[in-house]
Amino acid sequence: IHNLTEAAGGNYRCEVSGEAPVFKTSSDSALLIVVDLPDEQPRIIEDGVGPYRLQQLITVNCTSHGARPAPNLTFYINDESVDPTWDSRELVFVNETSGLETAVKSLQFPLRLTMVQLDGLQVKCVASIPEMYWLSSETTLSVELPHNYSHLFGSQGSVSYSSSQKTATHTPLLSTLVFLASRLLW
């Protein structure tokens, strides 16, 4: 199949037939799934401005653009899974022109002391399509603690950290379009 498009996806069947006089036939079929991977790494957007204070409600969004099907988005705080009640449902918007999907998910949580690390509070978002695609972004949120907490984090009276965004890639041998399981047997 050249110039693969979504339309090429579906069930493929191959039939083999013998000659006269028996005309014995045999066939098998397999499903071909066509996936269009996201255009870019997931993006994390803070819905607010740091530095954040203890107990403050923090909201961040994660967006993955231009894929079909839309990847699953998963949040991590300091590399740990988040409380399921902090996650919103994943929303998927379809671009009517391109047919591609954009996934958006929000994370909302109260800032707790146990989340604060020396290098700030790390939020990560992973966009994944099982067995095909895995890409993550992370951001470090700045935190400001009251003065009497300073002994927990060294000599400074308050802890302020700058924001930065990093990307990690882990996409084996994949370009924009990926085939799955085209298996034809006699």
Ligand X SMILES: *[C@@H]1O[C@H](CO)[C@@H](O)[C@H](O)[C@H]1NC(C)=O
Contacts with ligand X by CB under 6 A lie at 2-3, 45, 47, 61, 69, 71-72, 88, 91, 95, 97-98, 104, 106, 129-130, 146, 148-149
Pick 45 or 168: Cβ nearer ligand X:
45
- The contacts of residue 116 (CB under 8 Å, 6+ apart) are 143, 145, 153, 159
Shortest Å distance, C-beta 151 to ligand X: 8
Pick 7 or 20: Cβ nearer ligand X:
7
Shortest Å distance, C-beta 166 to ligand X: 20
Pick 26 or 95: Cβ nearer ligand X:
95
Shortest Å distance, C-beta 63 to ligand X: 8
Pick 25 or 155: Cβ nearer ligand X:
155
Shortest Å distance, C-beta 148 to ligand X: 4
Pick 152 or 184: Cβ nearer ligand X:
152
Whether the Cβ atoms of residue 106 and residue 72 lie closer than 8 Å to each other:
no
Shortest Å distance, C-beta 72 to ligand X: 4
Whether the Cβ atoms of residue 121 and residue 89 lie closer than 8 Å to each other:
no
Please choose, from the candidates 21, 1, 24, the residue with its C-alpha nearest in 3D space to the C-alpha of residue 12. Answer: 1
Q: Which amino acid is at 163?
A: S
